[in-house]
Structure 1
Amino acid sequence: MPASQPTSTALAEALALHRQGRLKDAEVRYGRILAREPGNFAARYHLGLARLQRGNLQGGIEALRPLYESGPPHIDVLYNLGRAYSELGRHAEALPCFERAALLQPNLAEVQFYLGMSLASVGRAEAALPRLQHAIALQPGLAEAHHALASVFNELGRYEAALPHFEKALSLRPDLAEAHNGLGTALCGLGRLEEAAAQYRRAIQLKPVYVEAHTGLSDVLRILGQGEVAAECAEQAVRIGPDDAVAHVVLGQALAELGQQGRSLAEFERALALQPESAAAHNELGAALHGWGRHAEARAHGDKALALDPDSSKYWSVQLFYLHYDPTISAHDMAARHRAFAERFEAPLQASWRPHANAPEPERRLRVGFVSPDFRRHSVGYFMTDLLAALKGRSLDLYAYAVHWTGDDLTERIKAGFDVWRECRMSDDALAEQIRLDGIDILVDLAGHTVGNRLLVFARKPAPVQVTYLGYPDTTGLDAMDYIIGDTRMFPESEEGLYAEKPWRLPDTSLCFMPPDLPVEVGPLPAGEAGPVTFGCLNRQDKINDSVIRLWAQILQSVPESCLLLQNRAYDEAAVVADMRRRFAAAGVESKRIELVGRLGWREHIEIYNRVDIALDPFPYNGTTTSVEGLWMGVPLVALRGDRLVAHMGESILYALGMPEWIAQDEAEYVAKAAAFAGDRAGLAAVRAQLRGRLLASPICDAPGFARNLEAAFRGMWRAWCNRQNA
């Protein structure tokens, strides 16, 4: 600008260029004005604005920042500076801009919207809610505000509250792919999986390269049991976003569901390489490594996941569950870890526990609720079906709180055993309130820390008596859980300190087995009179740790020409087979003596026991369902007595059948017993011939008797509560 030209004229010319869209020319003019008058507010503000409009966000910040730092606050400076920081992802710097702007003009919808977005982005989700709600009150037609508010509700797990705002956003902006994706997440959180899948598909239709929608769809399809399609969706997400760590995690989960353990492990490792601080990747990798016997690495990744996201109850439960496969973790360490879970998640809820209105009448009819994600073809389903049928019509009204995503043919049989069936696709608060409204006297957890558990419902203490049973071989850690049900073998008095709950010991057994409805007969002893003995284990490969391999190798070395048959879907994958063979080779076992069989159909799985002479129980995590299935097929079990609930299952089962001679007290005896039984072909054949009948006549298959014992246990628990109330 000429030295003689008044600043006002030069500014007017610059503004005219700005209005014409000649932003670069306007910037030059603003710069000349500032060279002469560095404190000219209008020139500096419009220079920053022009830079922002040209996409030069950092340049815009450099121009506007001096105005923010000196002089009285100006709403336009604060708003535009905050927007620039937000677009660069620098939300912590954006936040004070919008906070000051909101103080100046609290009734500007855009300011409240961006303030809410900034709060959410820095992890202050609860504080973001009133700001976004205020923005909507000021401008009800602001689709982005409805979408943002719904997204915050999703982040907080308040999916019911999110739904109307996603729906409103989509009524205003039907083409908003992000809102369809968020609605899919909310519907998934509520268990409305088919609807969720439709929303993810719509988001992909609108935005085909939307990685998050592809991963969301993969998650839903995996839960729905459509594993192959889920893997395809995740693979598409990885193709679109090869550097997206979440996409690799989701692909790893889908592959793991298909039993492709080697490929899934590689995907989790790739995710961590891309994002070393990904809690999800550490969590999944930690769980996966237990299956490969790499327990020290697994623990390190699990602990890292909890350090990165200590408030994820899911990650806590995953790590607690998988640590049972680690033979180096002591029983007391496991107990301490469960108590730490309670201290983090239950303790903050205890102040909100409310008195129960249940009438403390010890002999009245009781309402007993069962909470489970596994009312289906699952170990829990197999042990509950006949029991529920035997309990129905007694002095109990049975309520089901089915928190599973999908059911199957067995679900319908289980459902018939309940007086009331509720499919509970709701938040922990809502489910706890439903249980209170139902007037449940005794609430039974059937999941513990397994997938799909609702322990945080129990942590809210919705029922006066709460019990954990069957689904998880350990304490929950919760003070709110009054009892843990087992039998005398599962709960030696010396181990009571391992449990937050009071052990309730049933007589005889804690299992009520439903024999397979299959026309499969017990075959002759595979070894015959002089053939090679086949030992077998049909448990998941996670249970076969190096200590187990060491003892099994000693057994094979003690029994010449014997072999070991292992069956699990994981052995469909060459990498898993090679790794298992390597581990046995390191223990001195030739590859030809190990047979690894992959996925089988239900009938084929049962029939393969006809190729096994003696089953070997793994440790410390014993088998349960597979052990009883083997006994039904005439295959006796050699078990090692352990020092905690998870390691007492084999002992408990064998005592219930009157077969204590098959229980070893230490490792040396475990090897010796297996070898001795293998050498007694006549004895093995005799046991095989009568074992199914023995099982069917045992307390494990006596559903009416077991129902009486469990009913008496519930009555005893209830009387104890009533006595405390009436004292």
Structure 2
Amino acid sequence: MAMSENSLDLDDGNDDLRAVGDAVSGIERRASVSRLSQGDEASVEELNRAGARHFAKGDFAAAIHFFKLAAIDLSAVGAQANLGRCEIRMGQFDEAAARARSLVFADAHQWTGWQLLGEALAAKGLHAEAIEAYRRATTLAPEQAVTHRQLGVSLGHCLLLDEACEAFARALDLNPEDEGSRYQLVINKRHVCDWDGLDGLSEQLKSRVAAGIALVSPIDLLSEDASASLQLACATRQAERLHEDARKKTVHWERSSHRPSSGRLRIGFVSAGFGQHPTAILTSALFEQLRNSPVEAHLFSTGAEPVSKARERLMAAAYRFHQVSKLTPQTLAQRIRAEQIELLVDLDGYSRACWPMVYAYRPAPVQIAWLGYPGTTGARYIDYVIADRFVLPPSLAAYFSEQPAYLSRCYQSNDPTRIVPVPQSRQDYGLPVDAVVFACFNGTFKLGRRSLDRMFKALKGVPGSVLWMLEGPGKSSLRLREMARGADIDPARLVFTPKLPHSQYLGLYRHADLFLDTEGYNAHTTASDALWGGCPVLTRPGNTFASRVAGSLNHHLGMPELNVGSDDEFVAFAIRYGNVREWRDALKQKLALQCDVSGLFDVKGFAADFADLLARIAKHHRSGGRASNFLQ
């Protein structure tokens, strides 16, 4: 963030709580205040700068000391605000909110108090109230870029993504070097399918990531057509930050009196998705199979969602289910070490709001990435990534920091016990009775001009066909229909359905004829849903892990014809499939057969192979072997 005479940079790197520069008032800047006449050595501005230096280092207690000295002068509004920002970062949210309200009460026309109030409310998760405070601040001081960015963050939390885009765009317009606003603008525009100017912003973001200027969550970079090498650089930078943070906090290890049962390999699985989540959908049947294997599956749930049927199923399947959502990363690491976990499997990576820092403490001798994050962690403390040779070929493995541990089958586990329900009629969903239904139920953030262009060409080539999608956030559906109109396609041929509970959503595939996958960032769990629901998935495997998942599913399903090599092949396949009913019927019949015989949905076989792979990794480690010389 740029520094100026009137602003001290207090940015601590937190995207949700971007620290605001101290707005040193004119009175503060020119006053030596009464203390100086009594022989004090520092001015208010100097004290604020000293506090800001400690704030930047994360030493908030020391920062408070200097800000309190500066705040002795009652006119030092900026020092009061900075005290509040320190309180926020020390978890004293109520104190910060009270301080902000006192500033607002003293002068409702001073933007600093409103801004601090917005920060404090946002820290408490009260984003709707924070929005109102930020709006007051931006009205009083429209030139303050950081307040527009903070407003955008809270709007995003309230799923007001179109308004969030406006706020981030305003912040970036005021400060073109505001990397946080550029980053947030890209990902929010991606979600609402606002592609006006997005290509240029995306290229700017990627170039700044490559130069080490912008700090971006690796999961968000997957939607930006980033190369495997750039994904590795981004992930490595994130992992190094986590590692450095972990080094600052000592963890004291204790051993549990509970000992592993004889002859069983103790494996820990950590995820925020042990509930109503794709992780649970993919792994529940696997954990049930592992109950009768040489593996003790310990599930560490970092998610705080209420108990559901999906969660109860996992709790019953696990050797032991550990609810750890209230633990800190340090105490979670201690808990894992105390349970004497030998192999620790990260099911999240950078995919969700979880604690990837826990792995930097090295709570287990061997640490493995699998399933949840479709890319490299870039972390020296993650030893292996479980994959298959299609989704992670040797040419791509060079861009992974982890040693690949290959399964002979698809790396993705699946649940063959799921029932595909009989849905409502096509008419009930606004679909034509007899025409071909192309479907794409991927998230809107996976869409792009290239993917949509292929879909539109397929629609034009198959008379009467429709494209069936899930309703996205904000104005995304409206924008997609406008793009159809611009491509000389009746907007009514894009049919949108609200998101449904998984048990109902799975039945939608009975009405879908062909799933048209997205470029760059494939359907993953959604692809296996489609296949299990009887809908073939047409995809073009790319040069990154995230762009090869659907291809891996097709490959191991025994239907490689669904993997095409170019956009032209993609469109030609879709058009022929839509126009030749006999070919369409034959392919669907083959899909039904392959789901039974290919092994893709053979969870018993998967569990055996998975347990064997983990046992070989453990044996290799016990014999003193390193991940780098693990033999496949």
Q: TM-score range by the shorter chain?
A: 0.7 to 0.9
CA shift for structure 1 position 534: 1.9
Q: Do residues 61 (structure 1) and 12 (structure 2) align?
A: no
**2:400 counterpart of 1:438:** no
The structure with the largest helix share of the pair is 1
Letter in 2 for 1:85: E
Query: 2: CA distance between counterparts of 1:516 and 1:235?
Result: 45
Q: Which residue of 2 aligns with 1:380?
A: 279
Do the aligned partners of 2:471 and 2:477 also contact (CA within 8 Å) in 1?
no
The residue type paired with residue 283 of structure 1 is Y
Q: Deviations over 1:463-491 (max 9, x none)?
A: 21111001111111112211111222212
Closer, same or farther in 2 for the Cα pair 1:595/1:60, shift >3 Å? closer
- 1:322 maps onto 2:256 in alignment: no
Would you say the 8 A contact 2:114–2:134 is kept in 1?
no
Q: Corresponding residue for 1:643?
A: 543
Compute the displacement of 1:251 (Å).
Answer: 5.3
Deviation for aligned residue 1:585: 4.8
Equivalence for 2:372: 471
Paired with 2:295 and 2:396, the residues of 1 have a C-alpha distance of: 31
The one-letter amino acid of 1:237's match is A
Who is 1:85 aligned against?
45
**Is the 8 Å Cα contact of residues 274 and 301 (structure 2) preserved in structure 1?**
yes
Tell whether 2:433 aligns with 1:499.
no
Shift of 1:340: 3.6
1:178 aligns with 2:140: no
Which shows bigger deviation, 56-65 or 626-635? 56-65
Instruction: Name the residue aligned to 1:452.
Output: 353
Cα shift at 1:587: 4.9
CA distance in 2, matches of 1:615, 1:56: 64
Taking the aligned partners of 2:510 and 2:172, their CA distance within structure 1 comes to 44
For the aligned residue pairs, the C-alpha RMSD in angstroms reads: 4.6
Assess, with a 3 A threshold, how the Cα gap between structure 1 residues 491 and 519 changes in structure 2: closer, same or farther.
closer
Q: 2:202 aligns with which of 276, 298, 304?
A: 298
Kindly state the Cα deviation for residue 538 of structure 1 after the two structures are TM-superposed: 0.6
**After superposition, what is the alpha-carbon deviation per residue over 1:289-323, rounded to whole angstroms, capped at 9, x for unaligned?**
3333424303535776999986xxxx532xx2122
Secondary structure of 1:664's aligned partner: coil
Which deviations, in whole Å up to 9, do the C-alpha atoms of 1:140-195 show, x marking residues without a partner?
Answer: xxxxxxx999975964xxxxxx57xx6xxxxxxxxx9525779xxxxxxxxxxxxx
Q: Which of 254, 265, 280 is residue 366 of structure 1 equivalent to? A: 265
1:268 to 168, 193, 196: 168
Aligned counterparts of 1:672 and 1:543: Cα–Cα separation in 2:
22
Q: What secondary structure, in the 3-state scheme, does the structure 1 residue paired with 2:518 have?
A: coil
Mapped contact 1:289–1:298 kept (Cα < 8 A): no
For the residue of structure 2 that corresponds to 1:241, the secondary structure is: helix
Could you report, residue by residue, the CA deviation over 1:642-695 in whole angstroms, capped at 9, with x for unpaired residues? 222111111111123222222212322222222222233134235446745753
d(CA) in 2 for partners of 1:257, 1:670: 37
**CA shift digits 1:39-87 (9 cap, x unpaired):** xxxxxxxxxxxxxxxx96566418886x7xxxxxxxx4216x54x337x
Match of 2:570 in 1: 670
Is 1:333 the counterpart of 2:227? The answer is: no
Aligned to 1:126: 59
Aligned pairs for 1:677-696 within 5 A: 677-688=577-588, 691=591, 694-695=594-595
2:410 aligned residue: 509
Deviations 1:596-645 (A, max 9, x none): 44444545533433432111111111101222222232211111122221
Change (3 A) 1:343 1:295: farther
Structure 2 match to 1:533: 436
Q: Would you say the 8 A contact 1:639–1:670 is kept in 2?
A: yes
Indicate the larger mover: 261-270 or 533-542. Answer: 261-270
- Which of 232, 236, 255 is the matching residue for 2:132? 236
The change in CA–CA distance for 1:462 and 1:59 in structure 2 (over 3 A counts) is closer
**Aligned amino acid, residue 233 of structure 2:** A
2:421 aligned residue (509, 520, 523): 520
Match of 1:567 in 2: 470
In structure 1, the partner of 2:305 is: 406
Structure 2 SS opposite 1:467: strand
Q: 1:654: which partner in 2?
A: 554
The change in CA–CA distance for 1:78 and 1:342 in structure 2 (over 3 A counts) is: same
**Matches for 1:195-214 after TM superposition, within 5 Å:** 212=116
Match of residue 551, structure 1, among 446, 449, 454: 454
Structure 2 equivalent of residue 397 of structure 1: 296
TM-score, normalized by length of structure 1?
A: 0.67
Deviation at 1:536, TM superposition (A): 1.1
CA distance in 1, matches of 2:131, 2:304: 23
Does the 8 Å CA contact 1:392/1:417 hold for their aligned counterparts?
Answer: yes
Contact kept in structure 2, 1:377 and 1:411, CA below 8 Å: yes
Distance 2:138 2:465 in 1: 48
- The answer to which structure, 1 or 2, has the higher relative contact order (CA under 8 A, 6+ apart) is 2
Query: In the superposition, relative to structure 1, how do residues 254 and 633 fare at CA in structure 2: closer, same or farther (>3 Å)?
Result: farther
Take 1:219 and 1:347, find their aligned partners in 2: how far apart are those partners?
Answer: 24
Could you list the per-position Cα deviations for residues 250-274 of structure 1 after superposition, in whole angstroms to 9, with x for gaps in the alignment? 6544554565432332233344456
1:720 corresponding residue in structure 2: 620
Residue type matched to 1:567 in 2? L
* Runs of 4+, deviation exceeding 6 Å: 62-65, 147-151, 207-210, 244-247, 302-310, 347-358, 522-530
| Distance in structure 2 (CA, Å) of the matches to 1:635 and 1:376 | 26
Aligned counterparts of 1:249 and 1:377: Cα–Cα separation in 2: 31
Deviations 1:442-472 (A, max 9, x none): 1111112222242222233222111100111
What's the counterpart of residue 74 of structure 2? Answer: none
Contact 1:486 1:509 in 2 (8 A): yes
- Per the normalisation by structure 2, the TM-score is 0.76
Q: Does the residue aligned with 2:539 lie in a helix, a strand or coil? A: strand
Q: Give the CA deviation at 1:389.
A: 1.7
Return the letter of the residue paired with 1:417: A
Max Rg structure: 1
Shift of 1:558: 2.8
Inter-CA distance 670–394: structure 2 relative to 1 (3 Å threshold): same
Amino acid at match of 1:386: A
Task: Determine the C-alpha separation between the residues in 2 that align with 1:150 and 1:529.
Answer: 59
